[in-house]
Copies of this chain bind each other. A is one copy, B any other.
Amino acid sequence: MAIASYIRDLMNSKDASVIRKMFEEGSVLKKQFGAENVYDFSIGNPDLEPPAEFLAGISEEALKQCKGSHGYMPNAGYWETRCAMAKKVSEEQGVSVTGDQVVMSVGAAGALNVVFKAILSPGDEVIVPAPFFAEYTHYVHNYGGILKPVKTLSDFSLDVDGIKTAVTDKTVAVLINSPNNPTGKIYDGAEIHNLAKALEEQGKKYGKKPYLICDEPYRDIVYDGKEVPAVFPVYSNSVVVSSFAKNLSIPGERIGYIAVNPSCEDASEFVAACVFTTRILGFVNAPAFFQRVIARYWNVKKDLSSYRERRDEFIKIFQESGIDFFVPEGAFYFFCKVPESARGDDDKDFCDFLKKYRILCAPGTGFGRSGWFRISYCTSMDTIHNCKPALKQAVHDWKKNI
């Protein structure tokens, strides 16, 4: 007996697992050379601790121990938690959302799987601006869907005309991630407005209006006064999925949600379908304990300013090292160009090369853009400082083909 052959193929494909593999290789390198001598920028595992008020909330909730508090609840989640998320989304989107329009999920990754299981039939297409979060390919493919990347413009903004052309009668959804992983780009109000207009037009043309799915776990992590624009007021068939993995630094706890635009033409059926797929995919419900904590503490004060400091430090290092990069407007990733060299610009080669200097980064190919690589800077400032000599040396040696 053996595992399914298509799973084996996926596991063996180089692109698929590269980020997680780096993360796990990083653990091995750290044991070998000491954690302070490995510069691990591979994964988006926030180095900041959750806010003190939130940690206090965890302890408080643990001490309560109400009867039945670890038991099943409706698959959609606790009503109190759904209402708290509705309040959050209402504030962010400037549209009144109720608890009925929210389904709690096992993180944003769980949320996307639940949504795609609910809306995709085999052969359906999901359009995504590229570069994009590497796992999206799986999340769509799991349900027989086809992920159709449309390259962004050179500043990583949306190519609305390109997306419009890509829409066909098979398009079920457009998936955007803003602030974007891996580029740090925020799609601004004008882009969202134009995208909405294009989708309305194509929706009329093909007799079905695609869902616009907004994956927003980085919404709170923004720089230079930028803001993530609301989508609900400009496009009815829109859905927000998010989590507290990044803004509250609790990715391991798997707590997220799905919120559907109340103006969506089939909002209640969409929610019912997500509740159903939450159940049949075996999530059953978002973890009870963190649902309770989040219901009360989602809105604690967060100091995310150190991400800006880290970003600015990296900008200096890149400038000294001769690395081309895009200045992130949000999230905590740099998307950088592989330096020119007689070695070529293969991003996987470059990331392998960096490993010799104990620098771990993710190749851009996994994000749908070869010739680039991603640096995750949700690491300590010390790691960033300390990597400078190694990174400068690595880039020097790469360029000189040493």
Contacts and interface: CB of A to CB of B under 8 A. Distances in A.
A62 interface: yes
A287 B3 contact: no
A250 interface: yes
A225 interface: no
Interface string A99-128: 000000011011111100111110010000
Contact of A1 (B62, B209, B250, B272): B209
Contacts of A73: 252
Contact of A7 (B27, B74, B118, B237): B118
A2 B252 contact: no
Contact of A43 (B63, B72, B143, B253): B72
Given A43-B72, A106-B106, A282 B1 contact: no
Contacts of A265: 1
A243 B172 CA distance: 36
A279 interface: yes
Interface in A10-41: 10-11, 17, 20, 23-24, 27
Contact of A20 (B2, B62, B279): B279
A284 interface: yes
A240 B158 CA distance: 47
Contacts of A124: 4
Given A106-B254, A109-B282, A172-B1, A7 B72 contact: no
A392 to B, nearest CB: 29
Contact of A120 (B4, B59, B249): B4
Interface residues of A, number: 88
A49 B107 CA distance: 27
A371 interface: no
Given A10-B276, A118-B3, A273-B8, A110 B283 contact: yes
28 contacts: A1-B208, A1-B210, A1-B211, A7-B119, A11-B276, A17-B276, A24-B74, A45-B71, A59-B63, A61-B62, A62-B63, A70-B251, A71-B251, A106-B254, A106-B282, A107-B284, A110-B282, A112-B282, A113-B281, A135-B279, A135-B280, A135-B282, A138-B280, A139-B280, A252-B285, A252-B289, A253-B288, A283-B283
